[in-house]
Amino acid sequence: MRWLGPSFVLALVLLVLPAKAQSVQQQGGCIIGHLRNTARPVSPDIDNVCASTPNAAMPGGKSFQEYYAWVMPFLMTSFDNAERAHCGVPGCATGGAHVRLVLYYEGRVDVAVKRDEITIAIAAGAIDFVEAITVMMFQDMKDDPDRSATNGLRQWLDGLSTEGGQACRLRTPLKKFTLDLKENFALIRAAAAGIYTFIFAHELSHVRAGTACGIDPAKGALAVETACDKIAFAKVTEYGVGLPSQIVAWFVSVHHYERLAGPMLAPAGMNLETSAPARDWTARARSISNQWLQACNGSSKPPTCSSGWRELQQYGDDLIGIDLPEPCSK
């Protein structure tokens, strides 16, 4: 496989560190992982949300909890690694707060924020998206020095660019691959976990550096989220669990998908991009790519500057350069 240097192996090694959480719970249409202060009961707001969330039937006749049983241990390990990256050990950033991850099937999960609780709700569709993006990126790395890969990420993004203005419908990532998923399963799972670790490290940046991550909040939501991205990226890459090209690919893919599906995703009468400027995912991907380039050209190089990093960084820049699609038409 092309471009897979030591940084990928390092991420895989760190991935096997065990999560400290002792409690995984099924609650209505949710799977809940309790990471810290696990003796505390589920709060009424979570109870109510999960009780009203559909517990859908999945392929093979499996329940939602059976089909996604593998996810929560991975998410909990990724959260632990994010906290290790920030300050050394699980619990060092969250203190005595009750930390929980909530995986749900569909709908919207709104959770009241409390000082002694940290709750992160994640849709199963987001997990599917990350996994598919990861596989397609590996497809590119295997076959695509000249943009010729079949069913790779570039092809999917190029395809979205041709569908702007057409009738709105869900366009999920491609599911047919020439990549040997069994042979490359461990690397694919490690790369996907790198995205989860970055996401959690971003949220922990809000906790440790303040809501605005150390900048003047008057600069706007995009500037604040970019500042948190920078802190998270520095932490996870120094620790060796962040895969920069994968983070960039995820940002770009989310932006392309949201741009195309915007009329379906935004509240009635609102424009997703203008109403939520922090969702300029391409600008945030460009910031990450530049930060990676500067780190690897500096004197103190993180593990992600090992062999092959420049090709991977250029791959990410190529993804950033693909034209965004026009929104679909209702």
Average pLDDT, the chain: 81
Burial class (CB in 10 A: 0-12, 13-18, 19+), 96: exposed
57-73 in b/e form (b: 16+ CB < 10 A) is eeeeeeebbebbeebbe
Nearest CA to 263 out of 184, 163, 175, 181 is that of 163
**pLDDT at residue number 220:** 95
Q: Which residue has the tokens 């240097």?
A: 5
The answer to whether residues 253 and 133 touch, using CB atoms and an 8 Å cutoff, is yes
The answer to whether residues 244 and 292 touch, using CB atoms and an 8 Å cutoff, is yes
Residue ranges in the chain whose pLDDT is less than 70: 1-22, 38-44, 107-115, 143-150, 170-184, 268-269
**pLDDT at residue number 173:** 64
**pLDDT at residue number 271:** 74
Nearest CA to 164 out of 89, 73, 76, 259 is that of 259
**pLDDT at residue number 221:** 94
**pLDDT at residue number 159:** 87
| pTM of the entire predicted model | 0.87
**pLDDT at residue number 107:** 60
Q: Which residue has the tokens 């998206």?
A: 129
Spans of all domains in the chain: 13-123, 125-320
Structure tokens that stand for 328 in this block: 């679909």
Tell me the β-bridge partners of 242. Answer: none
pLDDT digits (tens, 9 = 90+) for 258-316: 999 888 887 766 777 777 889 999 999 999 999 999 999 988 788 888 888 999 999 99
The answer to whether residues 51 and 61 touch, using CB atoms and an 8 Å cutoff, is no
